[in-house]
Amino acid sequence: MRCKHLNFYVFPILCLIISITAKAFNDSSQTFLLKPTGNYDIGTKELFLTDSTRIETLSKSKTFRRIYVKIWYPTKNRTDNKYDKYLTSYPKEIISDIFASHGLNNQLIDSIVKFNTFSVSELPINGNTEMFPLILFNPGFYFGMVDFYTSFMENLASHGYIVCSINHPYEQPFIEFPNGEKTFLKKKKAQLGYLQLFLANKFQFRKRNTPKKVEIITRNYLHKLSILDKVVRRWTIDTQFFLNYIKNKDSISKQIDVYSQMDLNNIGILGQSLGGAVAGEICLNDSTIKAGVNMDCFQFGKIIDNPLKVPFMLIQSEHYIDWNIGNSVIYRNSESNFFKLTIYKSKHFVFSDAALIPLVKTEDKIKLIGNVDGVQSINTINKYILCFFNQYLKNIKSDLLEKETNNSIIKFEKLK
């Protein structure tokens, strides 16, 4: 009798719980992103630029090279504005096509795009005379969508940084320009780059039993990955074009009001995957850059023979071990402070919002980010990135950067 009564009450309670859970999940006010830890609200703007000095070589229609820049910036003007939705600039078919092998199907993406960010588009910037350091960001190759790194962009903006994220047409999933024109990833050409990477990983890093052999292998590796090296060089030119553009006060101030509060005396650069290699190259090429961060990429380019002269941090997973070995050679002669953060048991996409996306199957999550706690990983990465840029762009000394750490989760080293 007691069991019957219990079932009588338990069943409707379970139904109520399921109903509330479903409503909470479908409620557009919810977000899976981590709340930014800074004091500023966050605004966003878009900027589309054409480099009239270069012809677009990746398109049959010989137009000029263009880039898309999304800007996150600090503000105190949010009031009652609704937060922007997540990944709304990208068709779900594009996202699912790119990430199908990682478990992000149309149904899951339908759920993800209902969530909010912590940003509001087109808000006025802070509105006083406060100046904010500028950070440039380059996403990864093939999978790289600027909004897929929102958890990093928003956190930096909330702490008083203007972050400009650069998307590169045809080598990243999708861009829609103001005139309605759309560019898509050239998948076949991109996959040739991954084929080169596969072959290089299989045949290059062998018999690395002496430092001299590791250096020889690393140089061969740089030579063999010609397609990815060309991508890094193209993106480096894109980024340099944008840097030159923002230094031209008259041209940019007419297009975006955030320019008036960019501190161009304190510029840093950050990137993930091939975007991380771009960060290193820009630090080498442009003396106005004060500090850079490479998130999980083999350092393509000329740094192997031209040591970095600005503070730099390499943050790496354990996904591409060969990349990590090669980077130990490439960065060894850095002449300024050099830091290395390793996230143990992690994979390449831990440096993206993939670490936070809900409802991904456990096996797919592990494929994406490794056997790690996604929330803990993003918090850790954000903490080290913030302390690094605070120290070198805001002159706020960080004890965290002075303390070497080696535990079951991370290893942090100060090598210079």
Residues 6+ positions from 335 with CB-CB distance below 8 Å: 307, 308, 309, 416
Nearest to 201 by CA among 322, 317, 297, 304: 322
The region of weakest confidence among 22-36, 201-215, 234-248, 250-264 is 22-36
pLDDT digits 0-9 by tens, 103-119: 777 778 888 888 999 99
Choice among 160-169, 248-257, 272-281, 367-376 with the minimum mean pLDDT: 248-257
pLDDT at residue 251, as a whole number: 61
pLDDT score for 330: 96
Whole-number pLDDT of residue 96:
82
* Confidence (pLDDT) at 106: 79
* Average of per-residue pLDDT values in the chain: 88
Tokens, residue 321: 């071990």
3-class DSSP state for residue 265? strand
Residue appearing with tokens 């740094």:
303
pLDDT of residue 26: 38
How confident is the model over 130-151, as a mean pLDDT? 94
**In degrees rounded to 5, what are phi and psi of residue 41?**
-70, 170
Stated pTM of the model: 0.90
* DSSP run (H or E) holding 191: helix 187-203
pLDDT of the residue at 109: 84
Whether the predicted pLDDT of 126 surpasses 60 = yes
Determine phi and psi for 87, rounding to 5 degrees.
60, 30
Which pLDDT score, from 0 to 100, does residue 249 have?
Answer: 65
d(CA 158, CA 222): 38
CA dihedral (325, 330, 335, 341) in degrees, to 10, reads: -30
CA–CA distance, 17 with 23 (Å, rounded to integer): 10
Confidence of residue 4 (pLDDT cuts 50, 70, 90): very low
| 87: CB partners within 8 A, 6+ apart | 95, 109, 112, 113, 145, 147, 148
Distance CA 281, CA 237 (A): 10
Q: Is the pLDDT of residue 151 over 50?
A: yes
Q: Is the pLDDT higher at 170 or at 213?
A: 170
What b/e string do you get for 347-368 counting C-beta neighbours within 10 Å, with b at 16 or more? bbbbbbbbbbbeebeeebbebb
Contacts of 288 (CB under 8 A, 6+ apart): 243, 247, 264, 267
Percent of the chain beyond pLDDT 70? 90
Q: How far apart are CA 260 and CA 170, in angstroms?
A: 32
Q: What is the pLDDT of residue 210?
A: 84
Report the pLDDT value the prediction gives residue 252, as an integer from 0 to 100: 65
| DSSP string over 123-158 | -----SS--EEEEEEE--TTT--GGGGHHHHHHHHH
Report pLDDT for 395.
97
What is the per-residue burial (b if ≥16 Cβ within 10 Å, else e) of 253-267?
eeebebbebbbeebb
In the predicted structure, residue 18 carries a pLDDT above the cut 60: no
Structure tokens at 306: 């031209």
Q: Cβ neighbours of residue 195 under 8 Å, at least 6 residues apart?
A: none
- Pick the more confident residue, 260 or 313: 313
Long-range contacts of residues 214-223, Cβ cutoff 8 Å, at least 24 apart: 214/325, 214/326, 214/328, 214/329, 215/329, 217/326, 218/304, 218/325, 218/326, 218/329, 218/330, 219/304, 221/298, 221/322, 221/326, 222/300, 222/304, 222/326
Q: How far apart are CA 101 and CA 216, in angstroms?
A: 35
Q: Is 314 helix (H, G, I), strand (E, B) or coil?
A: strand
Task: Give φ, ψ of 45 to 5 degrees.
Answer: -140, 160
Predicted confidence band of residue 185 (pLDDT cuts 50, 70, 90): very high
206-252 residue pLDDT tens: 677 788 888 988 998 898 899 999 999 999 999 999 999 998 866 66
What span, in angstroms and rounded, lies between the C-alpha atoms of 173 and 90? 8
Using alpha carbons, select from 181, 15, 148 the residue that is nearest to residue 70.
148
pLDDT for the residue numbered 100? 73
Bigger pLDDT: 105 vs 370: 370
- In a 13 Å sphere around the CA of 54, the CA atoms on its Cβ side amount to 16
Burial profile 139-148: b = 16 or more Cβ within 10 angstroms, e = fewer: bbbbbbbbbb
pLDDT computed for residue 130 by the predictor: 86
Does residue 327 have a pLDDT over 60?
yes
Q: Which CATH superfamily is domain 37-185+233-414 in?
A: Alpha/Beta hydrolase fold, catalytic domain (3.40.50.1820)
> Smallest Cα–Cα separation from 137: which of 124, 126, 147?
147
Query: What average pLDDT does this structure show over 114-128?
Result: 86
On the CB side of 96, CA atoms within 13 Å amount to 12
pLDDT greater than 90 at residue 137: yes
Most confident of 22-31, 108-117, 218-227, 340-349: 340-349
